[in-house]
Amino acid sequence: MRIDIITVLPEILESPLNNSILKRAQDRHLVEICIHNLRDYSSDKKHRHVDDYPFGGSAGMVMQCEPIDRAITHLKNQRSYDEVIFTTPDGERFSQPLANELSLCENLIILCGHYKGIDHRIREHLITREISIGDYVLTGGELAAVVMADAIIRLLPGVISDEQSALFDSFQDHLLAPPVYTRPADYKGWKVPEILLSGHEAKIREWELQQSIERTKRLRPDLLED
Ligand code: ADE
């Protein structure tokens, strides 16, 4: 898989995408992440500006058509893309099923929104998918792009060492994950549930399922409604 991210703030993306599991995934060529500075596509060679005042006189700046069009066209001339995603609080809600779906794609473009928004003609003509990571407004789409890229990449085969583990994540089966514990079995009198020390595999799996169901009912009953 290849993910191209277009942004005016590449620095925000560099660290989270180039550490730990995501770095290893790139080193092992399981995913290629390419970050593009939108300013490189500005026709204003001096100030490299990519935004302008909105028609109609309202407040804030709007990202212009031309640099975005040039960046996306440049990428599309090199390969075909499954989706051109725009990060925006008024998009469809990002979720585990959507991460699963996008993890099956070959090539993705993610355009990070900024300022007051982007010229709507880009959304009409170039964007194939508008995605929000939640009902709150961030200062820009970079953190949303990182969240999406992380959730997608960890699903790619071989990225997580125990491939099975992504299948048992919270949300994959509409249930939250059960609690986990490690040594020592007794810390300051805080004890690990006996069952986990019993060595009885079938009973442990049954206990974990019960815990998942109980936690989901208590913390996220909406997940069970589906
Ligand atoms: N940009 C600003 N807020 C956002 C959000 N909640 N999701 C995606 N992109 C955003």
Q: How far apart are CA 191 and CA 121, in angstroms?
A: 59
- The amino acid present at 77, given as its one-letter code, is N
The confidence band for 16, taking pLDDT boundaries of 50, 70 and 90, is: very high
pTM over 0.85: yes
- Domains of the chain (ranges, CATH numbers): 2-153 (3.40.1280.10), 170-225 (1.10.1270.20)
Q: How far apart are CA 54 and CA 36, in angstroms?
A: 25
pLDDT at 110: 99
Phi, psi of 23 (to 5 degrees): -65, -45
Angle value at C-alpha 190, between 188 and 196, nearest 5 degrees: 130
Higher pLDDT, 132 or 116: 132
Residue of 90, 130, 137, 148 to mutate, ligand 1, most atoms within 8 A of C-beta: 137
Q: Is the CB of 117 under 6 A from ligand 1?
A: no
Extended strands (E) in the chain: 2-7, 32-37, 51-52, 62-63, 83-93, 107-112, 117-118, 129-132, 186-187, 190-191
Centroid of ligand 1 to alpha carbon of 90 (angstroms) = 8
pLDDT digits (tens, 9 = 90+) for 163-175: 557 766 778 789 9
pLDDT at 4: 99
Count of beta carbons in the 10 Å neighbourhood of residue 185 = 13
pLDDT digits (tens, 9 = 90+) for 124-158: 999 999 999 999 999 999 999 999 999 999 999 99
DSSP state of 178: P
pLDDT digits (tens, 9 = 90+) for 73-110: 999 999 999 999 999 999 999 999 999 999 999 999 99
Angle value at C-alpha 14, between 76 and 109, nearest 5 degrees: 20
Percent of the chain with pLDDT over 90: 90
CB under 8 Å, gap of 24 or more: what pairs does 20-23 form? 21/153, 21/154, 21/159, 21/160, 22/149, 22/150, 22/153
Centroid of ligand 1 to alpha carbon of 114 (angstroms) = 9
pLDDT at 115: 77
Q: Is the CB of 136 under 6 A from ligand 1?
A: yes
pLDDT at 163: 55
Q: Is the CB of 133 under 6 A from ligand 1?
A: yes
Say if CB 131 and CB 94 are below 8 A apart: yes
What mean pLDDT comes out for the span 45-51?
A: 94
Structure tokens at 223: 């997940």
Q: Find the helix packing angle between 20-27 and 142-153, rounded to 10°.
A: 60
What mean pLDDT comes out for the span 105-128?
A: 95
Q: Is the CB of 113 under 6 A from ligand 1?
A: yes
pLDDT at 164: 57
pLDDT at 114: 86
Is the per-residue pLDDT at 111 higher than 70?
Answer: yes
Task: Round the average pLDDT of the chain to a whole number and report it.
Answer: 95
Say if CB 26 and CB 54 are below 8 A apart: no
- The amino acid present at 122, given as its one-letter code, is I
pLDDT at 149: 98
Q: How far apart are CA 41 and CA 132, in angstroms?
A: 25
Count of beta carbons in the 10 Å neighbourhood of residue 224 = 11
Residue of 5, 7, 88 to mutate, ligand 1, most atoms within 8 A of C-beta: 88
